[in-house]
Amino acid sequence: MKILLPPVVYKLFTYGSLVLVCACAISIKGIEVPTAKTDLEKQVLGEYRSVDNELILMSTVRGKKLGLLASNDPVELAKQNQKFNQDDLEELKNLQILGEGNDGKVRLVPLSISKIASPKAKIMRLARIILDEENSDRMMLWQDTLAKGQKSLSLVQVQKTYMEAKRKQTTVGQWYQDDKGTWIRKASS
């Protein structure tokens, strides 16, 4: 004996089955099973290796030796390198390790007047690298100034003008040399 159902029931059954199949397919596709541990899981489990301080220190001394700068023009490279080193230079000046010399160059502040009596070797290595790079970059810019029509000026005059500008930019607590070579700590603007 066959039971006849109204057509509405057949339609409901057909559409209901279709919705059920689609819902199952959607929920199955939404499941993702990760095969590798995330960085957070690695860190929680003690497997995650953070960047150590030595690597951070080395990453601050970058640039032209690695060929990472965009230009081949030495003057442009010097400007880029100065921008790149600017944060490190300011930090080392704030730590009273570096200061502005009376010849327009960056100089090591004598330990006898610095607030850090014996800085760590890593900081001193960084200071020496930044000092050498900054002074090299400055020399490149000074020579470029002389080459671009300022032939009436001498290198000493260009350095003096640069030094005066750098003295004005020195912030409170940083060191600079006066014209006689005496170290002065900037007290106020």
The token duo for 139 is 């020399």
Average pLDDT over residues 80-105: 94
* Residue 177, SS3 per DSSP: strand
The token duo for 118 is 């014996």
- Distance, CA of 54 to CA of 1 (rounded, Å): 87
- Distance, CA of 104 to CA of 157 (rounded, Å): 10
Least confident range from 44-53, 97-106, 145-154, 160-169: namely 44-53
- Distance, CA of 115 to CA of 94 (rounded, Å): 10
In this model, does residue 105 exceed pLDDT 50?
Answer: yes
Give residue 131's pLDDT. Answer: 96
Query: Which has the higher per-residue pLDDT, 163 or 41?
Result: 163
Question: Among residues of the chain, what percentage have pLDDT more than 70?
Answer: 62
Give residue 37's pLDDT. Answer: 61
Give residue 128's pLDDT. Answer: 96
Query: Which has the higher per-residue pLDDT, 60 or 98?
Result: 98
In this model, does residue 155 exceed pLDDT 80?
Answer: yes
Q: Count CB neighbours of 143 within 10 A.
A: 15
- Distance, CA of 147 to CA of 145 (rounded, Å): 5
Give residue 40's pLDDT. Answer: 59
Query: Which has the higher per-residue pLDDT, 2 or 182?
Result: 182
Phi, psi of 176 (to 5 degrees): -150, 160
Average pLDDT over residues 102-106: 95
- Per-residue pLDDT tens over the stretch 2-25: 666 667 666 766 766 666 665 655
In this model, does residue 63 exceed pLDDT 50?
Answer: no
- Distance, CA of 96 to CA of 172 (rounded, Å): 11
Mean pLDDT of the chain: 78
In this model, does residue 70 exceed pLDDT 60?
Answer: no
Give residue 118's pLDDT. Answer: 77
- Distance, CA of 109 to CA of 176 (rounded, Å): 8
141: left (phi over 0), alpha (psi -120 to 50) or beta: alpha
